[in-house]
Structure 1
Amino acid sequence: MRGVSSLERRRKLGGGKRESNGMRREPKKIVGRGSKLIGCGSAVPKLLISNDDLAKIVETSDDWISVRTGIRNRRILSGGETLTGLAIEASKKALEMAQVEADDVDLVLMCTSTPDDLFGSGPQVQRDLGCKNALAFDITAACSGFVLGLVTATRFIKGGGFQNILVIGADALSRYVDWTDRGSCILFGDAAGALLVQAGDGDEDGLLGFDLHSDGYGQKHLNATVKDNGTPRPSSNGSVLVPPTLSSYSCIHMNGKEVFRFAVRCVPQVIEAALQEAGLTGSCIDWLLLHQANQRIIDAVAARLEIPSDRVISNLANYGNTSAASIPLALDEAVRSGKVQKGHVVATAGFGAGLTWGSAIVRWG
């Protein structure tokens, strides 16, 4: 409800919010509403790393990388930049576009696998944005995180009576890249994107259909596991003490061929399932927007769905694989350039570590 004050909105909802003194919200009483996507924003680090730059570190070349992946540049956190800072910048832009005040945000969903804090970055984003009335927490689902966060937001609106929800996709996979491995270091970049999802009026619903999946057996093909830091030291009386070193995560391990096969097989299936739920066909899609992992995957999925290239959104060449940030980053650029317009139907799909994958068919505006 643009232009409606926080107090008026609370009266319409028939409930209160959690105040800054920690008092409990009154239960929200209006449920079953649809959602609409009304604001987006994005942010990327200042440091640009080109394929030529990487060729100075590992045995590779611009041609070798671009032919196999479609990537030419990526952005990497440096200096005093933080992932939380990128998320805040992207969120401010989304709020500005949506004409929603920070006080009127009910929920902040921080979709990330690389938070600045082990316990999550959502509450820090909520604090620094000034969303003093909002609940905030992290969703960890790697490259599928934003799609899962988007669907989760609509469920909070439909079943919980929430009004304004910020869904943020943000990752800094450069922190876990082995820069001596030319098979993986060429792929990843850092970024953040945000989307403001708002309760709709009447029967309107911007989420037309979705389909979500997980398969833990595929974790062996894409992971960054906790390192084994050695054997705990025994004490003089034979009991075992705690490990002597702090835990940390390994660099990203990826079986590129298996991940490629998984993506080209499963992504069209979830898009088709979501379209079926929405009662639509591929010809009804204005734009196909996939997680930006590899241009060959994007092209293969588009071909399978018979969607022409001029209806496919891709900014992979400029940013590489930014994990949970890739879909909202590309969507923000497409909206601000005038490509995606109010009423357009966008088929989105995320896929990656876990393994997790899923699709959401949405209408913009």
Structure 2
Amino acid sequence: MAMIAQVAAQQLTVPESIPELAARAGWTIEATLAAGAGHTRHRAPVGVSQIELICDAISRLGLDPALVRSARWLICAQAVPWRAMPTNAATVHARLELPPSVQSSDINASCLSFLAALQLIGPSVDASGCPALVASSEDPLMALDWSEPHSAALFGAGAAAAWVVPDRIPQRGETLLAIKTQLIESHTETSEACVIRGGGTKDLFGADGYGKFSMNGKALFQAASRHMDCFIERFVSLGGVEPACADWVVAHQASREAIELMRRRLKISPDRMPVRFEEFGNQVSASIPEGLASLCRSGQLRHGDRILVLGTGAGLLIGATELAVVSAKT
């Protein structure tokens, strides 16, 4: 099985408080709170693009540049790219001056893009014996529609990257995350509940609402609730850990209400499911790897711990991955 050897989050974004968000959007503070905003969310500073966020996250993996150049794949996994063409991965490949032997590709599975990338690239990493870089980054500010506060108030910028390696024994002082059971399902009856009009061939440039994000949160919430229990049953039947039995749960930080509903419905103890929404907001595809990086930095992981990574995304997608903590023997 493939393993995550390192995972790290970017450190370029800056926090934006509720009063700052309200001033930007033209809302009152009361309306901002009612819309479900966290205590802060993060935004990219002026002049810092989604590409810089990815490159910063990769740099914080602490890898030797020669090791980075030995990767067989560079996968950028996000809901919304920096531009429609070229891919984020091609642009990052050029910025990092990687050799032609590093294949660059993008993956889009909305908020579950990072999990989809692990699911697709993991078998190739293990079979080939070659490592891969996987990075997720989002900068949603330009696409937010301030006339829809219940969606616009939720989102923040972020990025995180992972170094994925073939199955191996950890070195002294090293902790690896073995990628175990994985499942992603598509329940597309709500495929139009999250839409960005633009970036493809359907919507004419300059049309009303072009480039803006629109979300029917109620429809997504109801669909996720309707399908979650059966999804978990299928995940467990494949060998995945029961949510109530996991040592840690890294959940997509969709919204305050969605996180709490998932925790209560799946009987997950609050101390095993860290919540990052209040500080960072919904970072879309970067939410899961950023949460994973935070958990790894916390120093709380122990050999044998079972981590359940769980979330939903536009589509509707529901996904889960079990990671097993493997530490070197002392």
The question of a shared fold, defined as TM-score above 0.5 by the shorter chain, is answered with yes
Q: Deviation at 1:60?
A: 4.2
Partner-residue secondary structure (3-state), 1:364: strand
2:82 aligned to 96, 100, 116, which one? 116
Q: Which residue of 1 aligns with 2:70?
A: 104
Specify whether residues 87 and 118 from structure 1 end up closer, same or farther in structure 2 by C-alpha distance, changes over 3 A only: same
State the alpha-carbon separation in 1 of the partners of residues 66 and 177 from structure 2: 19
Q: Is residue 74 from structure 1 mapped to residue 66 from structure 2 by the alignment?
A: no
State the alpha-carbon separation in 1 of the partners of residues 32 and 229 from structure 2: 25
Specify whether residues 58 and 244 from structure 1 end up closer, same or farther in structure 2 by C-alpha distance, changes over 3 A only: closer
Q: Which residue of 1 aligns with 2:319?
A: 358
Alignment of 1:180-259 (within 5 A): 180-201=147-168, 206-226=178-198, 249-259=210-220
Which one is further off, 283-292 or 185-194? Answer: 283-292
Counterpart residue type for residue 141 of structure 1 = A
Which one is further off, 106-115 or 37-46? Answer: 37-46
Structure 2: state its 5+ residue gaps: 170-175
Q: Which residue of 2 aligns with 1:234?
A: none
Q: Which residue of 2 aligns with 1:93?
A: 60
Q: Deviation at 1:59?
A: 3.4
Q: Which residue of 2 aligns with 1:52?
A: 19
Q: Deviation at 1:197?
A: 1.3
Q: Which residue of 2 aligns with 1:39?
A: 6
Q: In the alignment, is the contact (CA less than 8 A) between 1:58 and 1:181 conserved in 2?
A: no
Identity of aligned residues (%): 22
Q: In the alignment, is the contact (CA less than 8 A) between 1:290 and 1:350 conserved in 2?
A: yes
1:83 aligned to 39, 42, 50, which one? 50
Structure 1: state its 5+ residue gaps: 1-33, 232-242
Q: Which residue of 1 aligns with 2:298?
A: 337
State the alpha-carbon separation in 1 of the partners of residues 240 and 285 from structure 2: 27
Counterpart residue type for residue 75 of structure 2 = L
Specify whether residues 212 and 75 from structure 1 end up closer, same or farther in structure 2 by C-alpha distance, changes over 3 A only: same
Specify whether residues 245 and 337 from structure 1 end up closer, same or farther in structure 2 by C-alpha distance, changes over 3 A only: closer
Specify whether residues 105 and 61 from structure 1 end up closer, same or farther in structure 2 by C-alpha distance, changes over 3 A only: same
Q: In the alignment, is the contact (CA less than 8 A) between 2:10 and 2:54 conserved in 1?
A: yes
Render the CA deviation track for 1:327-359: whole Å, top value 9, x for unaligned.
111111121121334542111123222222211
State the alpha-carbon separation in 2 of the partners of residues 126 and 53 from structure 1: 35
Q: Which residue of 2 aligns with 1:157?
A: 125
TM, length-normalised to structure 1:
0.77
Specify whether residues 212 and 40 from structure 1 end up closer, same or farther in structure 2 by C-alpha distance, changes over 3 A only: same
State the alpha-carbon separation in 1 of the partners of residues 312 and 287 from structure 2: 11
Specify whether residues 99 and 38 from structure 1 end up closer, same or farther in structure 2 by C-alpha distance, changes over 3 A only: farther
Q: Which residue of 1 aligns with 2:173?
A: none
Q: In the alignment, is the contact (CA less than 8 A) between 2:243 and 2:308 conserved in 1?
A: no
Q: Which residue of 1 aligns with 2:288?
A: 327
Q: Deviation at 1:79?
A: 1.6
Q: In the alignment, is the contact (CA less than 8 A) between 1:60 and 1:182 conserved in 2?
A: no
Partner-residue secondary structure (3-state), 1:94: coil
Q: Which residue of 1 aligns with 2:103?
A: 135
Q: Which residue of 1 aligns with 2:172?
A: none
Partner-residue secondary structure (3-state), 2:116: helix
Greater C-alpha radius of gyration: 1
Q: Deviation at 1:246?
A: 9.6
State the alpha-carbon separation in 2 of the partners of residues 167 and 227 from structure 1: 23
Specify whether residues 259 and 246 from structure 1 end up closer, same or farther in structure 2 by C-alpha distance, changes over 3 A only: closer
